[in-house]
Structure 1
Amino acid sequence: MAPKDLLLALVVIVAWGLNFVVIRVGLDGLPPMLLGALRFVLAALPVFFVRRPNLPWRWLIAYGATISLGQFVFLFQAMANGMPAGLASLVLQSQAFFTLAFAALFLGERMRGASLLGLLIAGGGLLLIGLQTGHSTTLLGIVLTLIAASMWAMGNVLTRKFGKVNLMGLVIWGSLIPPIPFFLLSLWLEGPQRIEHALLNIGMSSVLALLYLALVATLLGYGLWSRLLSRYPAGQVAPFSLLVPVVGLSSSAVLLGERLSTLQWAGAALVMLGLLVNVFGGKLWQRLQGTQTA
């Protein structure tokens, strides 16, 4: 990968890793469903300047309902109900294993041995994290984050069915789907009075958080990511996403003062190891077999 593109990849990783700290800041000033609605209203504004992907509306709706609406409904609710930002960045990466499972179930793809081993290792890590629920982490938060990861994974499987499509256009046009359901959920769960109070008393930190979530994490992040995917094989680009929870955990510790227990750190290490085995295990096994054969 060229040095310039490597720098762009690191920009995306930092942008997505800091995203979880910014969500925490946004939730301090806005209720979760209202935050989601406003985020996607802003993210959808470039729709007037970007061509719609060559997909039927039913597929665009399905994409927006899973990877945008479904993922962030549950993620925002998780973080509003005791899920720390750093752990959220890590647990959300379980989407990789949900994607493998859904692809095997709905697309008939075969799950590799390395993926199964990685799933078992990461599952053990999640179990350790779950055993340490308490004042800083709640079981509800972990469960909601796992559901958010499953919605992301469902969106990934849908994207595979689309074939070659402009990812930036898909993200922007898909952002048209979440605002109305988010507003309806906000009316139902948060109520008109809370919405009115939040909008009338919105602070600069909430405004900046919204701008970051819509413009940096969504538009800039996916724009640069799609550029990288258009230039390099997916297998060369995708492993960079493993750095997102590293940035998420470290930035949450520095900026929010989040601290994990020893058992949670052990669980986090197992989840990262499971992700590494999933991404690199198959290639490493093939090289070992090739070496032994030689």
Structure 2
Amino acid sequence: MRVKLTVFKYLFPYVIFGSLNYYFAKEAVTYSSPIIFNLIRYMISTFIFFIIGGKFIFNKDILQLSIYTSLSSLLWALGLKYVTPGESAVLSYTMPLFSIPISILILSEKPSKLELLGLIIGFSGVVLYGLPLSYGFTLFGAIVTVVNAIFWALFSVFYRKLRNYDAISINFSQFLIGSIIFSSLLPLDYDINFNPEFFEGIAYISTLGGAISFFLWNLMVKIEKVTKVTVLAFSVPILTTIEDIFLGVIPYKIQVIGISLMFLGILISRARKIEK
């Protein structure tokens, strides 16, 4: 029996970095507007991909990718103004549910029965995991965070559509265009309070939680179809819970059940990667 593990070499660092993203982003966005928060992180990410050899690409697909990525980032940051990091994570991980119809529509990638079953089981785990947190949701924060998940699914599909392009150049181009978008929006809200907490948050969310995480996600959807990769995103709340346990935060029983369902969903969705 042989198991193909190619995608997992990108998944493991992605999950580790992603499990901390929400806390650092909340820290930074508390002291800045969502627009300037994203402008700074996008400019830093642009520079990172430039110095490692990114070349500018411009076409209709790259432009759409950049718009979807920027809208996802903006709405995610805006949502974090109103919800906690844990709530944001749960709401954001509705993304795999949206990835199926979008990938069918744009890429004609239909999920297998096992992939669909794994997604449904994993998503039910997200719902159970989020129940103890739901009392704190604000309607506006919840809505914009879920809409962020739709745009996350959209730019994931476009990463897949552009899989024949160099990933470094794709990310350089999307962050450069995104920087221009956020620069144009800056007059709407440029509030910022420079302090150690802001610098700590923006440093992480621009590098490990930003440029590198986007790049790793891009590499994963280059390898496998979107519906299969997006289920793997459930690994992030699983690791977050494990980290919380080590910090002395004991999850509710229903969250343990939710985590178990997420893990089961991943296993089922990956079943066809096992070859005899």
TM value normalised by structure 1: 0.72
Is the 8 Å Cα contact of residues 22 and 212 (structure 1) preserved in structure 2? yes
1:202 aligns with 2:194: yes
Gapped runs of 5+ residues in structure 2? none
1:218 aligns with 2:219: no
1:19 shift after superposition: 1.4
Query: What CA distance in whole angstroms lies between the structure 1 residues aligned with 2:234 and 2:98?
Result: 16
Query: What CA distance in whole angstroms lies between the structure 2 residues aligned with 1:283 and 1:6?
Result: 12
1:106 shift after superposition: 2.5
Is the 8 Å Cα contact of residues 65 and 174 (structure 2) preserved in structure 1? yes
Query: What CA distance in whole angstroms lies between the structure 2 residues aligned with 1:265 and 1:187?
Result: 45
Query: What CA distance in whole angstroms lies between the structure 2 residues aligned with 1:7 and 1:109?
Result: 23
Count of residues in correspondence between the two structures: 268
Number of the residue aligned with 1:72: 73
1:209 shift after superposition: 1.6
Query: What CA distance in whole angstroms lies between the structure 2 residues aligned with 1:111 and 1:8?
Result: 22
Mapping for residues 53-68 of structure 1, pairs under 5 Å: 55-66=57-68, 68=69
The amino acid across from 2:40 in the alignment is: L
Compared with structure 1, are the counterparts of its residues 263 and 246 closer, same or farther at alpha carbon in structure 2 (3 Å cutoff)? Answer: closer
Compared with structure 1, are the counterparts of its residues 58 and 96 closer, same or farther at alpha carbon in structure 2 (3 Å cutoff)? Answer: same
Gapped runs of 5+ residues in structure 1? none
Is the 8 Å Cα contact of residues 36 and 186 (structure 2) preserved in structure 1? yes
Number of the residue aligned with 1:32: 34
1:40 shift after superposition: 0.7
Is the 8 Å Cα contact of residues 33 and 186 (structure 1) preserved in structure 2? yes
Compared with structure 1, are the counterparts of its residues 115 and 240 closer, same or farther at alpha carbon in structure 2 (3 Å cutoff)? Answer: closer
Compared with structure 1, are the counterparts of its residues 149 and 273 closer, same or farther at alpha carbon in structure 2 (3 Å cutoff)? Answer: farther
Query: What CA distance in whole angstroms lies between the structure 2 residues aligned with 1:259 and 1:140?
Result: 29
3-state SS of paired residue (2:94): helix
Q: Which structure carries more helix by proportion?
A: 1
Query: What CA distance in whole angstroms lies between the structure 2 residues aligned with 1:227 and 1:106?
Result: 19
Number of the residue aligned with 1:102: 102
1:221 shift after superposition: 3.6
Compared with structure 1, are the counterparts of its residues 142 and 263 closer, same or farther at alpha carbon in structure 2 (3 Å cutoff)? Answer: farther
Please say which of residues 215-224 and 72-81 is displaced more in the overlay.
215-224
Tell me how large the CA RMSD over aligned residues is.
Answer: 3.8
Compared with structure 1, are the counterparts of its residues 260 and 139 closer, same or farther at alpha carbon in structure 2 (3 Å cutoff)? Answer: farther
Number of the residue aligned with 2:270: 280
Compared with structure 1, are the counterparts of its residues 217 and 187 closer, same or farther at alpha carbon in structure 2 (3 Å cutoff)? Answer: same
